[in-house]
Amino acid sequence: MSNPHTLCPKFEAAFELLGKRWTGLIIQVLLSGPKRFKDLSDIIPGMSDRMLSERFKELEAAGIIIRHVYPETPVRIEYELTEKGKGLEFAMKEVQEWAEKWAGHDECPPQEA
């Protein structure tokens, strides 16, 4: 396509994925390193375990996170961003900066606990 305005449909797919509730926050937390399920649910108190489990499955299916199972006793399971997932750092930062700059503070309440 020679039209300079043509955007890959993957562009919208990316925004769709990242626009889901909690997804941005999960990726943000995992940018600081691999985490266990409980780490995530402790850090994000407003999110139910069922929701976290669902998001993990979606992000795994999208190739954004990988699940590591360490055969210890008890078994240890960690979730880590893939290279594709880590590649989102700058995109997330730019959207966040835009949102912070343009959303009034009064529109930005603390997250529910």
Surface-to-core class of residue 25, CB atoms within 10 Å of its CB (0-12 exposed, 13-18 middle, 19+ buried) = middle
Residue 7: CB partners within 8 Å, gap ≥ 6?
none
Segment 47-66, which members bind a second copy (CB under 8 A)? Answer: 63
Nearer to a second copy, 25 or 51 (CB): 25
- The answer to the question of residue 106 lying near a second copy (CB under 8 A) is no
- The answer to the question of residue 19 lying near a second copy (CB under 8 A) is yes
- The answer to the question of residue 34 lying near a second copy (CB under 8 A) is no
Structure tokens at 55: 């998001």
**C-beta of 73: minimal distance to a second copy in Å?**
30
Nearer to a second copy, 45 or 74 (CB): 45
Structure tokens at 105: 């503070």
